[in-house]
Amino acid sequence: MPIRVTRRETFNAGHTLRNPEFSDERNLEVFGKCSNPGGHGHNYVLEVTLEQEVDPRTGYVFDLRLLSELIEKHVLADLDHRNLNTDVEWLRGRIPTTEILADAIWDRLEPHLPPGSLHSVRVRETEKNWVERCRG
Amino acid sequence: MPIRVTRRETFNAGHTLRNPEFSDERNLEVFGKCSNPGGHGHNYVLEVTLEQEVDPRTGYVFDLRLLSELIEKHVLADLDHRNLNTDVEWLRGRIPTTEILADAIWDRLEPHLPPGSLHSVRVRETEKNWVERCRG
Amino acid sequence: MPIRVTRRETFNAGHTLRNPEFSDERNLEVFGKCSNPGGHGHNYVLEVTLEQEVDPRTGYVFDLRLLSELIEKHVLADLDHRNLNTDVEWLRGRIPTTEILADAIWDRLEPHLPPGSLHSVRVRETEKNWVERCRG
Amino acid sequence: MPIRVTRRETFNAGHTLRNPEFSDERNLEVFGKCSNPGGHGHNYVLEVTLEQEVDPRTGYVFDLRLLSELIEKHVLADLDHRNLNTDVEWLRGRIPTTEILADAIWDRLEPHLPPGSLHSVRVRETEKNWVERCRG
Amino acid sequence: MPIRVTRRETFNAGHTLRNPEFSDERNLEVFGKCSNPGGHGHNYVLEVTLEQEVDPRTGYVFDLRLLSELIEKHVLADLDHRNLNTDVEWLRGRIPTTEILADAIWDRLEPHLPPGSLHSVRVRETEKNWVERCRG
Amino acid sequence: MPIRVTRRETFNAGHTLRNPEFSDERNLEVFGKCSNPGGHGHNYVLEVTLEQEVDPRTGYVFDLRLLSELIEKHVLADLDHRNLNTDVEWLRGRIPTTEILADAIWDRLEPHLPPGSLHSVRVRETEKNWVERCRG
């Protein structure tokens, strides 16, 4: 019987939403106040879910302390207290929307997890907006 | 890679739960204190989820400001600070349970969204009870 | 050393905000959409705080199960799933704003508590609005 | 159109995580500080979701008061304010991880619900860790 | 009997914590990762509390819609989706810590409120850190 | 102008509430299901508030990273994942109610903080019950 386990982490980061190929007017039209050139930021919440059979020797699907360490090493060490437009190698050239964050975090984590175990990556940007990439 | 985006909104409304074809005793038996004729009310939370491919020009699945405006126009303008039994044209003749709200809100929103994009409508009535209509 | 203990309870109720001495226009001007004649409602949160010395035999300031029972008996039994304009004897003739609720709940509870122990009554109407009556 | 309804309940319990076939060192390695022999505990949150067609006579998928009573009778009466290692008949011989709790609670509830209606059992152990058993 | 009413608002902003009179080493020592030159940001929560007698004609201490408008006009219009180091006239020359924000927001709001009515300004920076300026 | 700053931390612990001088019947009468001899536990939340003038060189009242380290060293290192009845030297001989925890944590922290700066220690035991020791 497969069971899903989720780990919740938080990070604080800055960003602005602008497509460099758009004019200022077009950026303002598409991204609204999120396109302010000085930037703003968020308390992001990250929820990573794995799905696997329970190991009968431990009662665990996956050690959540280990999952927390993998998230810290491969994701938060690069994102926490950083500017997502300029400070993060693996976001370079992408507009750092919540969608892109969820997509990129999935790609960062998956190679370090048991094959097929990653079930979803959810990123909450505010109390009102969140995004999820799920196993297809 | 499809991604899900969710927008959370709130509204406050009044209702009572009574089937006019039931006797008072039957209404009390089925709906308990929710059948009080004077009515009561809730701080409802509405969470609408869309699923689509990310647009590479914007990094967005769907502009959440636009989704918020569609929810305001087609749903909240009719429900917020209203009596769900008497004030809402598109709930007339239905018992305004949370299930019926989720079902009716789905039908209100879907025609205004990209075909096939609506993934779920979740309505939270209290901290302890919530309801979800999902893409079948 | 005095210590404060708080008990949180919830109730759901309906109301409308209208002063019967005001015209419809004046009610709309003062109370906005809260004056809708059909009424609306809320998931109210009630937080009652007592302050006293700790009893060394029990480590308790006041038994919170007993406080919960007193709140149920003297407050929630009358308010939960009721219409605050029409169903509650001890709110009759008052406009059921959150301020009036906090004030009236204080008066309902105080005679049943140790003299001088009631420290505050906080009523949360929504995530954005709350009210507190404190010991003067 | 099937709709999902969820009921949230809470319970407080104590546990320690140790496999009696492991040495103390191995238990510490696998379970970390959760293996402290004196035990610790949690405010668990339980969210039970059913999925069915809405009954047109009531607007309900399933009476959530009845679901709450079934959860109280078959689950919480045994778990609340108990030691999960020693006090619960139906957890005997299992390591009381959150995964095992979700799995065992599913098996306790399913026989008392309409066939095929149980959709998921989610158990939250802390703000950072939660677990879900879903319909396969 | 004075009653306290509170309004909760949110805003998203970017900042970095650096004293221009400190060396880079001293800034890192004092402000840690908050001194990252690229900046980061937060979902700030602002809670403004007034204390006054209840107006018997309305049951209100102060119209919370009006309080919300005053906060929007005098505070949020300048802070929301802005860089607190560079974009805000009335923070210029100050290090935008949460303490300084609470202090400066108090000074922005007080002249627009009834004399003596402002009771506290609380600013929450993260789930773990918040700050309050209270009536002295 | 004094400002208050608060740091929130969490810990998980087990306890049972029994006065060894009471009979089993008296313990059950006073403490109810909290007196279960096998024990239970909680996800405790600890909120520590300091009040001081802001340091104009840093914009800080007190470095919250340092406050977090002091809480970890003098409080959480002893309480987290422990049995409060048997594992904690500085709770020995006291009934580990939330009141006693708040009182004892105040006494643990105060000698390590600037004289007169500690303003309150709040301990949340569940969503419904919390306790606060304040500066007298």
Quick check: is A25 in a domain? no
Which of C50, C64, C124 has the most F C-beta neighbours within 10 Å, making it the best mutation to test the interface with F? C64
**Sequence-ordered list of residues with C-beta below 8 angstroms from that of F134, at least 6 positions apart, any chain:** C4, F119, F120
- Minimal Cβ distance to C5: which of F21, F94, F99: F99
Quick check: is B26 in a domain? no
Reported as a single tens digit per residue, the pLDDT across C67-125 is 999 999 999 999 999 999 999 999 999 999 999 999 999 999 999 999 999 999 999 99
At B44, list the tokens: 């409802």
Contact between chains at E99 and F7 (C-beta distance less than 8 A): no
Is E136 a residue whose pLDDT tops 90? no
Reported as a single tens digit per residue, the pLDDT across F99-108 is 999 999 999 9
Is F136 a residue whose pLDDT tops 90? no
What is the Cβ-side half-sphere exposure of residue B110, based on CA atoms within 13 angstroms?
Answer: 15
Chain A residue at shortest CA distance from D132: A4
Output the average pLDDT for chain C. 97
Quick check: is D55 in a domain? yes
Query: Percent of chain E having pLDDT more than 70?
Result: 100
* pLDDT recorded at residue B1: 83
Quick check: is F34 in a domain? no
Q: How confident is the model at residue C136 (pLDDT cuts 50, 70, 90)?
A: confident
The catalytic position among F29, F72, F81, F112 is: F81
When divided into structural domains, chain E yields a total of: 1
**C-beta of residue D63 within 8 angstroms of C-beta of residue F15:** no
- Minimal Cβ distance to A60: which of D99, D127, D130: D99
The residue-averaged pLDDT of A86-112 equals 98
Between the CA of residue A100 and those of A117, B21, F115, what are the distances in Å?
A: 21, 52, 49
Neighbours of chain C (3+ CB pairs under 8 A): B, E, F
SS (H, E, C) E54-123: CECCCCECCCHHHHHHHHHHHHHHHHCCEECCCCCHHHCCCCCCHHHHHHHHHHHHHHHCCCCCEEEEEE
Is F1 a residue whose pLDDT tops 90? no
* pLDDT recorded at residue B87: 98
Quick check: is F17 in a domain? no
Quick check: is D17 in a domain? no
Residue contacts between A and B (CB atoms, under 8 Å): 57
Chain D residue at shortest CA distance from F129: D43
Cβ-based interface (< 8 Å): residues of C facing E: 17, 19, 21, 30-32, 94-100, 102-103, 127-134, 136
Contact between chains at F98 and C4 (C-beta distance less than 8 A): no
- Minimal Cβ distance to E8: which of C95, C98, C127: C127
Q: How confident is the model at residue B9 (pLDDT cuts 50, 70, 90)?
A: very high
Q: What is the CATH number of the domain that holds F58?
A: 3.30.479.10
* pLDDT recorded at residue D136: 78
Chain B residue at shortest CA distance from C124: B43
Reported as a single tens digit per residue, the pLDDT across A17-34 is 999 999 999 999 999 999
Question: Whole-angstrom Cα distance, residue A14 to residue A10?
Answer: 14
Q: Please list, residue by residue across D48-77, b when 16 or more beta carbons sit within 10 angstroms of its beta carbon and e when fewer do.
A: bbbbbebeeebbbbbebeebbebbeebbbe
Is F126 a residue whose pLDDT tops 90? yes
Question: Is B125 part of the annotated catalytic residue set?
Answer: yes
Question: Whole-angstrom Cα distance, residue D45 to residue C70?
Answer: 26
Question: Whole-angstrom Cα distance, residue E103 to residue F2?
Answer: 10
Query: Which positions of D are annotated as active-site residues?
Result: 34, 81, 125
The residue-averaged pLDDT of A24-51 equals 97
* pLDDT recorded at residue C127: 97
Output the average pLDDT for chain B. 97
Chains E and B touch (3+ CB pairs under 8 A): no
Q: How far is F116 from chain D (nearest CA, A)?
A: 33
Question: Whole-angstrom Cα distance, residue F109 to residue F87?
Answer: 19
Q: Tokens 């969503």 label which residue? A: F127
Q: How confident is the model at residue E1 (pLDDT cuts 50, 70, 90)?
A: confident
At B26, list the tokens: 């039957």
Domain that holds residue C79: 3-12+42-134
Residue ranges for chain D with pLDDT beneath 50: none
The residue-averaged pLDDT of B17-30 equals 97
* pLDDT recorded at residue F47: 98
* pLDDT recorded at residue F53: 97
Is A58 a residue whose pLDDT tops 90? yes
**Sequence-ordered list of residues with C-beta below 8 angstroms from that of F49, at least 6 positions apart, any chain:** F4, F5, F6, F118, F119, F120, F121, F122
* pLDDT recorded at residue D64: 97
Contact between chains at F83 and D12 (C-beta distance less than 8 A): no
Is B136 a residue whose pLDDT tops 90? no
Specify which residues D10 forms β-bridges with.
D45
Reported as a single tens digit per residue, the pLDDT across D98-134 is 999 999 999 999 999 999 999 999 999 999 999 999 9
Residues of C in contact with B40 (CB under 8 A): 12-14, 41, 80-83
**Sequence-ordered list of residues with C-beta below 8 angstroms from that of F41, at least 6 positions apart, any chain:** D12, D13, D14, D15, D39, D40, D41, D42, F12, F13, F14, F15
Q: Of B120, B135, B4, whose CA–CA distance to B60 is shortest?
A: B4
The residue-averaged pLDDT of F55-65 equals 97
At E5, list the tokens: 């009413």
Quick check: is C110 in a domain? yes
Query: Which positions of A are annotated as active-site residues?
Result: 34, 81, 125
At B113, list the tokens: 């969204």
Between the CA of residue A19 and those of A35, A94, E13, what are the distances in Å?
A: 9, 9, 20
* pLDDT recorded at residue E86: 97
Reported as a single tens digit per residue, the pLDDT across E58-113 is 999 999 999 999 999 999 999 999 999 999 999 999 999 999 999 999 999 999 99
Contact between chains at F126 and D33 (C-beta distance less than 8 A): no
* pLDDT recorded at residue A136: 78
Q: Of F54, F60, F51, F46, whose CA–CA distance to F106 is shortest?
A: F46
Chain C residue at shortest CA distance from B33: C81
Which of B1, B65, B119 has the most A C-beta neighbours within 10 Å, making it the best mutation to test the interface with A? B1
Quick check: is D32 in a domain? no
